[in-house]
Amino acid sequence: MSLVDVGRKAPALTLKDQNEEKHSLKDYLGHPVVLYFYPKDDTSGCTAQACQFRDDQPKFRRTRAVVLGVSPDSEASHAKFVNKHDLNFTLLSDPKNAKGDPKVCEKYGVWQEKSMYGRKYMGVVRTTYLIDSKGKVVRRWDKVKVPGHAEEVLQAVKDLKKA
Q: Residue range 131-142: average pLDDT?
A: 97
pLDDT at 98 over 90: no
Higher pLDDT, 13 or 1: 13
The pTM of this model reads: 0.95
In terms of DSSP bridges, do strands 66-71 and 90-93 run parallel, antiparallel, or are they unpaired?
A: parallel
Question: By C-alpha distance, which of 93, 95, 163 is closest to 134?
Answer: 163
pLDDT at 48: 97
pLDDT at 64 over 80: yes
The residues assigned a catalytic role are 46
Q: Residue range 30-34: average pLDDT?
A: 97
Banded pLDDT at 140 (limits 50, 70, 90): very high
pLDDT at 163: 75
Question: By C-alpha distance, which of 55, 96, 92 is closest to 75?
Answer: 92
Banded pLDDT at 116 (limits 50, 70, 90): confident
Instruction: Give Cα 32 distance to the centre of its chain.
Output: 13
Counts for the chain of helices (H) and strands (E), in that order:
5, 9
Segment among 49-53, 73-77, 79-83, 119-123 with least mean pLDDT: 119-123
Q: What is the DSSP string of 104-123?
A: HHHHTT-EEEEEETTEEEEE
Distance of alpha carbon 152 from alpha carbon 163, whole angstroms: 17
Distance of alpha carbon 89 from alpha carbon 67, whole angstroms: 6
pLDDT at 31: 96
Under a CB-based contact definition with an 8 Å cutoff, are residues 125 and 115 in contact?
Answer: no
Amino acid code (one letter) for 70 = V
Distance of alpha carbon 122 from alpha carbon 131, whole angstroms: 26
pLDDT at 61: 95
Q: Decide which of 3.40.220.10, 3.40.30.10, 3.30.1330.10, 3.40.50.2300 is the CATH code for 14-158.
A: 3.40.30.10
Under a CB-based contact definition with an 8 Å cutoff, are residues 45 and 80 in contact?
Answer: no
pLDDT at 39: 96
